[in-house]
Structure 1
């Protein structure tokens, strides 16, 4: 397995990932996959959903070996919880 290196600065990587999630991916995944992980290639917009980061990125790399994956926990502000709250409103 080859070593993958980011091709973008951290700020550009995050900007692209967030933009793609909000503009193209969120509406397709949030209703049916809340709480799961989505890996989005920041160059093509291709994405894969799975229960964990390794599975999501593994599926994405299988389709696109040169992918630059941005990881999002669907419906949450952060991938891992450190006291963060869900984006869903409390009922």
Structure 2
């Protein structure tokens, strides 16, 4: 999938999908890019609607705040090793359980299997963002 198609799909979806789901759209596009699959706009909308349900007790802002705090204060010192740099760590912000891997869908699914409906926050180990669109990821200092 070309970057132009991805940008077009995102711009079209911004009108139909809440802002809180945009990160899932980016995730889905990246996942498809890795699998070299073709997408259809309606499939993307269906995926986003299925996986972007809001948490019943926590706002997106609260999930982000808790996730960042848990990662920085409890998880980062344990997982930021040479072997893990660049991998993803998904965190259940209510239980503090986490899963490390190369695929966000896999790490999130592992946590969801243990606690359906879990509020999950994801970080890329050693970097300032999970994905970069139109830019580059910046390496963070330990």
1:40-85 per-position Cα deviation (integer Å, ceiling 9, x unaligned): 0011101001101101101111222231100111111100023231
State whether residues 63 and 120 of structure 2, in contact with CA within 8 Å, keep that contact through their aligned partners in structure 1. no
Gaps (5+ residues) in structure 1?
none
Q: RMSD of aligned C-alpha atoms?
A: 1.9
Which has more strand, going by share of residues? 1
The structure whose Rg is larger is: 2
What is the TM-score normalised by the length of structure 2?
Answer: 0.56
List alignment gaps of at least 5 residues for structure 2.
1-49
User: Aligned to 1:5, which of 50, 54, 62?
Assistant: 54
Q: Which has the higher helix share?
A: 2
| Paired residue secondary structure (2:127) | coil
Higher relative contact order (CA 8 A, sep 6+): 1
Name the SS of the counterpart of 1:48 in structure 2.
strand
TM-score (normalised: structure 1): 0.84
